[in-house]
């Protein structure tokens, strides 16, 4: 299970409660999405402005991103987990058999970083500002510029992260990096030329390979969103596929190992009711419990070639743009999280949705109630 703590920030006690959910459901990995356009959520020693500036935004969108006019709560919002808190959470997870994999998303999704350190952006004279609205992709500049200072920054930051987290893998994001800002930047274009890179896609790969190299110095390997295979990168990095089966088939065909986290049905920021007016506000889409339960992890085009082992597992993602409070996270993940667990742990021919619903009601919903957790009670 994944949790975005950037768009909204949750207290340490809730992170522990969330880890308890993972333990109960026999998940083994917690993917902690710690940085994005809307803030840095982890204490950093080497670049302190990531916290004094990058962890805070001036206001936050309220209502839906598509509402016109858009409305904002004009209040400073943010925070970050201290290193002491991170260590406490790592310890809490470790004794429960959960590996915590941190994500620091680069080279896009970096608006908070370039607000703290404009010199790492393609336009250092700009004042930027930590993002206070959602869906930044392509509309506003949020990319790192390829300069010696940026690469020093990345090496230092990822070494710091690698020293703090015991996981074998570190997630480096790599998703939704718009190339237009690099195209517009004369210094970036000069860099592309100097390094003999074919284009901006090759530059994206260059970033990924640099960071993979820095992490290798610390004996760590890389997980990235599937976009990192756009260019030519070596297949020791694991891809996290948030698209459909076609991308997974392509990735496995190219020799990558893949974790499946498909938008449909494993994005838990989507609606649970077919009728959004009967549900709490969500980003869009419809991922009902039944679709989650019936998801088949390994595409037949992969298993028929004897390559099923290249699909390492599955994960549901919890992007929190529309989850202001922990109770809303609970409502969005329960009971879908229970369905993910059963679907990933059960051989396809043994899955039985009717029986799952019966057991959910008899044994699991009482647990949610005992935990004092809210949950979706619809169909």
Our CB check for ligand ACM shows the closer of 18 and 242 to be 242
Using CB under 6 A, pick the residue from 77, 128, 242, 331 that binds ligand ACM: 242
Q: Give the span between the Cα atoms of 85 and 12, in whole angstroms.
A: 7
Q: Give the span between the Cα atoms of 308 and 324, in whole angstroms.
A: 38
**Least distance in Å: CB of 278 to ligand ACM?**
25
Q: Give the span between the Cα atoms of 295 and 231, in whole angstroms.
A: 29
**Least distance in Å: CB of 351 to ligand ACM?**
26
**Least distance in Å: CB of 109 to ligand ACM?**
8
The residue among 77, 181, 178 whose CA lies nearest residue 133 is 77
Q: How far is CA 371 from the centre of its chain?
A: 26
Catalytic residue among 2, 8, 109, 226: 109
**Least distance in Å: CB of 5 to ligand ACM?**
15
| 230 touches ligand ACM by CB under 6 A | no
Task: Please count the residues of the chain.
Answer: 379
**Least distance in Å: CB of 239 to ligand ACM?**
11
Backbone angles phi, psi at 329, to 5 degrees: -60, -45
Binding residues among 11-40 for ligand ACM as defined by CB under 6 A: none
**Least distance in Å: CB of 341 to ligand ACM?**
21
The residue among 62, 15, 53, 54 whose CA lies nearest residue 38 is 54
The answer for residues whose C-beta is within 8 angstroms of residue 253's C-beta and 6 or more apart is: none
Our CB check for ligand ACM shows the closer of 117 and 336 to be 336
Which residue stretches of 27-82 are H helix?
49-52
Peptide bond before 191: cis, by omega within 30 degrees of 0? no
Catalytic residue among 36, 160, 269, 321: 36
Size of the site for ligand ACM (CB under 6 A): 4
Helices (H) and strands (E) in the chain, counts: 16, 14
Which residue is nearest to ligand ACM, using beta carbons? 175
Our CB check for ligand ACM shows the closer of 225 and 293 to be 225
CA distances 369 to 17, 351, 364, Å, are: 14, 25, 9
| 134 touches ligand ACM by CB under 6 A | no
Instruction: Decide: 269 and 322 in contact? Cβ < 8 Å.
Output: yes
**Known catalytic residue: 176?**
yes
| 225 touches ligand ACM by CB under 6 A | yes
Residue where the block lists tokens 């607000």: 115
Binding residues among 301-360 for ligand ACM as defined by CB under 6 A: none
Catalytic residue among 85, 123, 175, 176: 176
Instruction: Decide: 158 and 207 in contact? Cβ < 8 Å.
Output: no
| 176 touches ligand ACM by CB under 6 A | yes
Our CB check for ligand ACM shows the closer of 123 and 176 to be 176
Q: What is the largest CA-CA distance in the chain?
A: 65
Residue where the block lists tokens 């080497």: 46
Tokens representing 302 are 């992969």
Our CB check for ligand ACM shows the closer of 146 and 174 to be 174
Our CB check for ligand ACM shows the closer of 57 and 247 to be 247
**Least distance in Å: CB of 225 to ligand ACM?**
5
**Known catalytic residue: 36?**
yes
Our CB check for ligand ACM shows the closer of 112 and 192 to be 112
Using CB under 6 A, pick the residue from 175, 209, 230, 245 that binds ligand ACM: 175
**Known catalytic residue: 349?**
no
Catalytic residues: 36, 109, 176
- In the complex, which residues of this chain contact ligand ACM (CB under 6 A)? 175-176, 225, 242
């Amino acid at each position: 299970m994944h949790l975005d703590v950037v768009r909204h920030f949750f207290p340490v006690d809730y992170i522990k409660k969330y880890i308890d959910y993972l333990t109960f459901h026999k998940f083994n990995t917690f993917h902690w999405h710690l940085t994005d356009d809307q803030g840095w959520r982890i204490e950093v020693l080497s670049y302190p402005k990531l916290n004094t500036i990058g962890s805070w935004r001036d206001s936050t969108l309220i209502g839906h991103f598509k509402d016109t006019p858009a409305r904002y709560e004009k209040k400073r919002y943010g925070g970050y987990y201290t290193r002491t808190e991170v260590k406490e959470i790592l310890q809490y997870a470790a004794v429960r058999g959960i590996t915590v994999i941190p994500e620091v998303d680069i080279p896009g999704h970096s608006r908070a970083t370039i607000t703290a350190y404009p010199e790492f952006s393609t336009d250092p004279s700009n004042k930027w500002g930590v993002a206070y609205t959602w869906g930044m992709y392509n509309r506003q500049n949020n990319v790192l510029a390829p300069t010696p200072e940026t690469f020093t920054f990345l090496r230092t930051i990822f070494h710091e992260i690698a020293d703090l987290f015991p996981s074998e893998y570190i997630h480096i994001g790599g998703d939704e990096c718009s190339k237009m800002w690099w195209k517009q930047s004369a210094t970036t274009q000069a860099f592309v030329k100097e390094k003999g890179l074919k284009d901006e896609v090759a530059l994206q790969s260059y970033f990924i390979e640099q960071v993979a190299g820095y992490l290798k110095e610390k004996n760590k390997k890389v997980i990235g969103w599937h976009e990192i295979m756009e260019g030519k990168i070596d297949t020791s990095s694991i891809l996290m596929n948030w698209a459909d089966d076609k991308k997974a088939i392509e990735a496995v065909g190219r020799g990558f190992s893949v974790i499946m986290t498909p938008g449909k049905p494993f994005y838990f920021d989507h609606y649970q009711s077919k009728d959004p007016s009967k549900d709490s506000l969500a980003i869009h889409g419809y991922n009902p419990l039944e679709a989650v339960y019936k998801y088949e992890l390994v595409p037949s085009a992969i298993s028929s070639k004897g390559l099923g082992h290249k699909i390492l597992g599955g994960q549901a993602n919890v992007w929190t743009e529309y989850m202001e409070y922990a109770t809303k996270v609970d409502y969005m993940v329960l009971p879908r999280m229970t369905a993910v667990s059963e679907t990933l742990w059960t051989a396809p021919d043994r899955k039985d949705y009717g029986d799952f619903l019966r057991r959910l009601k008899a044994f699991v919903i009482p647990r949610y109630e005992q935990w004092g957790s809210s949950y979706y009670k619809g169909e």
